[in-house]
Amino acid sequence: MKNVSLPNLYPYTQGMDIYENFINIGLVNVVIPVYSPTLSPSEVVSLNQCLRVLSNYPITLVTHRDVDISIYQEAFLQAKKSFKVAYFESHFFVSIFSYSQLLLSRDFYARFKEYEYILIYQLDGFVFRDELSDWCSKGFDYIGSPWFKHYGFNYDGKELWKVGNGGVSLRKTATFLNAFDQPFPCKSSWYFIKSIRKKQFRPMLLKTLQMLLVLTFSRKTVEYILQHYMDERVNEDCFWAEAFQGTSMALNIPDVLTGARFCLEQKPSYVYGLIGNQLPFTCHAFERYEYETFWKEIIERVHKLTILQHKNQ
């Protein structure tokens, strides 16, 4: 294991050229968050599918130094695939909120500044085929699976709302890095206001009022606001998808059906029909949504076919 130019970013070469035969070294990096030294059976399938289907792209594990990554190293070794590890502080990996803090930090995106895009690939996702370069070529700032209204919580309707979930998501690195230096739009304060939760109403309201007072008398950057006023109400994917809507900082995000062709998550059998009964590029949270009734047979069949194809290469 040897150091490379970026701090806390290490290559595992597995006896091969670190650059391998990548399609475009600077185009996109596949980023896999790692929280645990073990993998569930479905996570093993997800990882192995990623290593086979996205073998033409650099892959980085994002984790902290207390995690033993031996099981991941073995999977990459069997796939004859190199990888890198980007280490961050351990407190970013203890909860959904702490992970959101990481993906709302400049440091995270700065680690990947030499790439035009990063693909966040949580191991509850599954990639069906390699369309990654094609999705990068579309020029969007952010793509993820579409949500239903109210993020799908306590919602029984069929109205797709907006893109999109961050579990499997494509992000334009320069856009995210640039956002931290921009003055926080006053109009974006509504995101903090509407996200106040009943359980923590008083402290969240107080923090929001403090933020509004600061913004009234000074221009603070997005980074400053996130560092001083972010709390448990802020999920990073919701923030990036919503907070800048209607402002000059609005991200270039596709419509919901385009998002669904990129990734399916909630009510997958229904949305599958909306996109012409064609499999998307990826899916997310496949064990959580309609696994037995929809995903199980499809994922098992595609995964077996992928294994056969790679054995014959």
Of the two residues 25 and 207, the one the predictor is more confident about is 207
Could you tell me what percent of the chain has a pLDDT over 70?
Answer: 89
Average pLDDT of the segment spanning 258-279: 96
How many angstroms from the chain centroid is the CA of residue 149?
20
Measured CA distances, 39 to 86, 109, 125, 291 (Å):
19, 26, 13, 19
| Alpha carbons 158 and 152: distance in angstroms, whole number | 10
Minimal CA–CA distance to 152: which of 144, 142, 161, 163?
161
pLDDT band per the 50, 70, 90 thresholds, residue 213: very high
**Which residues are within 8 A (CB) of 251 and not within 5 positions of it... i.e. 6 or more apart?**
141, 142, 175, 240, 241, 244
The torsion region of residue 22 among left (phi > 0), alpha (psi -120 to 50) and beta comes to beta
| Alpha carbons 295 and 208: distance in angstroms, whole number | 41
Instruction: Tell me 75's DSSP state.
Output: H
- pLDDT at residue 22 in the model: 57
Is CATH 3.40.1350 the right assignment for the domain spanning 9-179+256-311?
Answer: no
- pLDDT at residue 31 in the model: 98
Average pLDDT of the segment spanning 205-224: 93
Q: What are phi and psi of 77, to 5 degrees?
A: -65, -45
| Alpha carbons 277 and 272: distance in angstroms, whole number | 5
- pLDDT at residue 149 in the model: 81
- pLDDT at residue 15 in the model: 31
* pLDDT exceeds cutoff 80 at 74: yes
Q: What's the pLDDT tens digit per position in 147-171?
A: 988 776 656 677 888 998 999 999 9
* 117 three-class SS: strand
* pLDDT exceeds cutoff 80 at 5: no
pLDDT band per the 50, 70, 90 thresholds, residue 21: low
Q: What's the pLDDT tens digit per position in 84-128?
A: 999 999 999 999 999 999 999 999 999 999 999 999 999 999 999
Name the token pair of 147: 């949500």
Q: Which residues pair with 59 in a beta bridge?
A: 30
* 146 three-class SS: strand
- pLDDT at residue 152 in the model: 61
- pLDDT at residue 3 in the model: 31
| Helix axes of 41-53 and 296-311: crossing angle, nearest 10 degrees | 50
* Strand pairing class (83-87; 59-63): parallel
Measured CA distances, 122 to 47, 94, 99, 178 (Å):
9, 15, 12, 24
pLDDT band per the 50, 70, 90 thresholds, residue 71: very high
User: pTM of this prediction?
Assistant: 0.90
- Contact criterion met (CB below 8 Å) for 147 and 284: no
Q: What are the DSSP E strand ranges found in the chain?
A: 9-12, 28-33, 59-63, 83-87, 117-121, 125-127, 142-143, 146-148, 160-163, 168-172, 263-264, 282-284
Report the chain's mean pLDDT, rounded to a whole number: 89
- pLDDT at residue 47 in the model: 98
* pLDDT exceeds cutoff 50 at 16: no
- pLDDT at residue 236 in the model: 95
| Alpha carbons 258 and 240: distance in angstroms, whole number | 18
| Alpha carbons 59 and 51: distance in angstroms, whole number | 9
- pLDDT at residue 153 in the model: 60
